[in-house]
Amino acid sequence: MSTALFLSALLARGQEYPRRELNPRELAQNLLPAPTADLDYTDLGEALYQLYLRPLDLNTCTRDELAATYILNQRQLGHFFEYRQSVGPLVSVYELQAIPEFDLPTIYRLLPFAEVRGAGRERVNANRESYLLLRYEQDLEQKKGYQTAEPNKNGTRPQRYLGGTAHPYLRLKQYLDHDVEWGITLDHDSGERLIFDGKTRRYGADFASAHVVIRNRGRWKAIILGDYQLQFGQGLALAGGFFLGKGSETVLTARRSHLGIRPYTSSAESGFMRGAAATYQAGRWEFTPFYARLRRDSNLDDDAEGVLSGSLQSSGLHRTPSEVAAKGRIVQQDYGLNALWRSRSTRGQIGFTLLKTHFDARIQKSDQAYNAYEFSGKNNFVASLQAGYLWRNTNFFGEVARSQSGGVGAVAGLLTSLNRRLDGSLVLRRYDRNFHSFYARSFGEASRNINETGLYAGLKYSPNPRWQVGGYLDVFRFPWLKYLVDKPSAGLSGLLRVAYIPRKTTQIFGQFVEEHKEKNVPDRLQKQNATLNTTRRYASLGFDHAPARRLALSTRVFYSSFRYAGFRPSQGWGLVQDGSMTFNRLTLSGRVAYFSTDDYDSRFYTYEQDVLYAFSLPAYAYEGFRNYVLLQYRLTRSLDVWVRLARTDYLHQETVSSGLEQIDAPHRTEVKAQVRWQF
């Protein structure tokens, strides 16, 4: 069968399989971790969509680039590159069926992110990829931050939001040819005032981002001006782009890929560089010098000695006078170099990264015990050494880095395909409590690579194409204090996932996560300070079925619990029913959900369908109903429209949220509209 399809592909030279549309629900289900904190998935969702918009050329992509899709295991990667080396360039994606161990489900998952381009031929549908996107969203209920404030007894008025309730967003992206692209992003959060004021560094839209990328100009592989991210090694010095770490995919996501320069297109207002970078290839060496200068938010104050100092802020919100006062107070400059050498066989690679960071004011976090080893000062220097080697079906990787403070960070591990049915991963990491790297995002339990040691082991077993079993166990330790943890602590987490896929249109799965950590007991439980072990459990059952070509149904049942040792557990559960139907140019999606949790500690998360390029993964907490409807209509071949209405109704409470975000009603209604014009 595969041979026949392969011959058909050769005879049909020049024809190409239509690339599959990206399915965010499938990606979220198969890759994302079970969240246990309020995480911002804006950058993650953006990286996924950018990978889709610029698919990999299977004839020129590197092993790292193909591995970064988190779809192919080590055996499949090995077979792919052996095939390409022995047969030559692919003539069609149909040819993937001729590669050993490339079954149809794997190929279907890969197609949204890959294509085949011939010599001198531009990307498939390249003239369809440039686009202008306009989005508008807001909450219908009035929040406290927009209400008129009554004066205090001393005559002053409490702070309120300076701007209106609207949240507009604009993005323009153009591909001039297959090697030149540029883009602009404008984002203005709700509550921010639209104003031109040089004194407060506000120039219209609160956040503006732009970039120009030129690729493959002789020995220059990539040149970028504007906003960008860098991904080298395992991310101990510089980490940007798509990375998941611990999640439902228990093996492939344990390793970061070396991807180099990536344009920054997200609306998140931190975690990127603004300046210039370029990658130059000389034989088997690649050199990437870079420079960046960016204003960062900070609450600067004069200390006792008259020295201006403060801490960095990353929310990107400038709604109140105090938030506006912090806007762009510190200038951060970054410059450095990455050098990478690849062996002739491409099985081995070694490189180093040098990064110098300078602030024009002193960085000093609050005087708390858990901040004793945090970065302080104006300058930081990080040097790292990275290496990787492929032996048969095992990929060894590692990176070690040292910061100016003397702290060391190190991560090492392996991914392996033990046989056609069993894959495994192993990762060991150690990040000193005084290791400081502002752009680090290597494998770990905490959100930053500091004050942590740990050992992770993951397995994935597929006895046949219909059954998949995966799991991991991660043991970690924090040698110093953390925020809300007043002593050195330790913990462990584990996941087990079983999926049954009887046919292409049906999937049944179950997933269980358990996590043990030490935390301070909050005042609401007891007055005396104490740090106790906590146990969080999270379970979900899912059933996905497409009874007809234009109809898809999805059912989820969730259970969650959280407990401080010696106290009663907080528990919760939820039932979620999704549906999607397509009528020619119209696609209608919706959800009906009921949830009930004892408090916020036992919340659970589940992915929601949203407008294109938006990523929604809210917390479901307390008791109530969560419903939404999403409409997408294709007006013409070039023009698409989305409208989304979502509402949460809470039972047994009179308000929603707190502080300036408080709504004096037991419900919240969100409206979002979006238009995309492709040209």
Residues 43-65: tens digit of each pLDDT: 666 666 777 777 888 998 889 88
The token pair at 292 is: 């960046």
Strand partners, 186: 170, 208
Residues 589-625: tens digit of each pLDDT: 999 999 999 999 999 988 899 998 888 888 999 999 9
Sequence-separated (6 or more) residues with CB below 8 Å from residue 541: 509, 510, 556, 557
Please say whether the beta carbons of 84 and 76 come within 8 A: no
Q: What is the model's pLDDT at position 21?
A: 62
Arithmetic mean of pLDDT, 303-331: 86
Arithmetic mean of pLDDT, 265-270: 88
CA distances from 89 to 6, 117, 618 (A): 13, 9, 44
Q: What is the model's pLDDT at position 309?
A: 79
**DSSP-derived secondary structure for 175-195:** EEETTEEEEEEEE--TT---E
Distance CA 520, CA 271 (A): 29
Q: What's this model's pTM, rounded to 2 decimal places? A: 0.91
SS3 label, residue 313: strand
Quick one: pLDDT band at residue 121, thresholds 50, 70, 90? Answer: very low
Sequence-separated (6 or more) residues with CB below 8 Å from residue 472: 246, 250, 425, 456, 457, 458, 459, 494, 495
Sequence-separated (6 or more) residues with CB below 8 Å from residue 270: 296, 314, 316
Which one has a higher pLDDT value, 35 or 273? 273
Quick one: pLDDT band at residue 4, thresholds 50, 70, 90? Answer: very low
**Nearest CA to 428 among 474, 470, 383?**
474
Sequence-separated (6 or more) residues with CB below 8 Å from residue 226: 209, 210, 211, 212, 263, 264, 274
Residues 368-384: tens digit of each pLDDT: 999 999 999 999 999 99
Please say whether the beta carbons of 219 and 188 come within 8 A: no
Which one has a higher pLDDT value, 42 or 513? 513
Asked if residue 77 has pLDDT above 60, the reply is yes
**Nearest CA to 435 among 398, 399, 484, 387?**
399
Count the neighbouring beta carbons within 10 Å of the beta carbon of residue 657: 11
Asked if residue 10 has pLDDT above 70, the reply is no
Distance CA 569, CA 562 (A): 6
Lowest mean pLDDT among 329-333, 407-411, 527-531: 527-531
Lowest mean pLDDT among 142-156, 188-202, 239-253: 239-253
Q: What is the model's pLDDT at position 20?
A: 57
Arithmetic mean of pLDDT, 645-672: 96
The token pair at 211 is: 């970039």
**Nearest CA to 506 among 555, 463, 539?**
555
Please say whether the beta carbons of 345 and 377 come within 8 A: no
Asked if residue 6 has pLDDT above 80, the reply is no
**Nearest CA to 145 among 132, 157, 129?**
157
Distance CA 556, CA 151 (A): 48
What's the mean pLDDT when you consider all of the chain? 89
Quick one: pLDDT band at residue 33, thresholds 50, 70, 90? Answer: low
The upper half-sphere exposure of residue 417, i.e. CA atoms within 13 Å in the direction of its Cβ, equals 18
% the chain with pLDDT above 90: 69
Lowest mean pLDDT among 96-105, 278-287, 552-561, 630-639: 96-105
Amino acid in the structure at residue 158: P
Asked if residue 225 has pLDDT above 70, the reply is yes
Asked if residue 525 has pLDDT above 90, the reply is no
Asked if residue 13 has pLDDT above 50, the reply is no
Distance CA 585, CA 327 (A): 44
In Å, the largest CA–CA distance within the chain is: 85
Distance CA 576, CA 554 (A): 8
Which one has a higher pLDDT value, 61 or 2? 61
Among left, alpha and beta (phi > 0; psi -120 to 50; other), residue 82 is alpha
Which residue stretches of 245-339 are H helix? 321-325
Please say whether the beta carbons of 669 and 139 come within 8 A: yes
Asked if residue 240 has pLDDT above 90, the reply is no
Which one has a higher pLDDT value, 586 or 53? 586
**Nearest CA to 291 among 233, 241, 356, 352?**
356
**DSSP-derived secondary structure for 58-123:** TTT--HHHHHTTS---HHHHHHHHHHHHHH-S-S-GGGGGGSTT--HHHHHHHGGGEE---TTPPP
Please say whether the beta carbons of 486 and 531 come within 8 A: yes
CA-only gyration radius of the chain, Å: 25
Residues 127-157: tens digit of each pLDDT: 447 899 999 999 999 999 999 988 887 878 8
Please say whether the beta carbons of 427 and 462 come within 8 A: no
Please say whether the beta carbons of 75 and 417 come within 8 A: yes
Asked if residue 482 has pLDDT above 90, the reply is yes
The token pair at 524 is: 């609401």
Residues 390-408: tens digit of each pLDDT: 998 999 999 999 999 999 9
SS3 label, residue 337: strand
Long-range contacts of 59-68 (CB under 8 A, 24+ apart): 59/84, 59/89, 59/90, 59/116, 59/117, 59/118, 60/117, 61/114, 62/346, 63/346, 63/390, 64/257, 64/258, 64/259, 65/257, 65/259, 66/114, 67/252, 67/255, 67/257, 68/241, 68/242, 68/257, 68/259
Q: Looking at the chain, how many residues does it have?
A: 679
| DSSP β-ladder status, 394-403 and 377-391 | antiparallel
The token pair at 471 is: 């799991």
Count the neighbouring beta carbons within 10 Å of the beta carbon of residue 522: 10
Distance CA 104, CA 221 (A): 33
Quick one: pLDDT band at residue 508, thresholds 50, 70, 90? Answer: very high
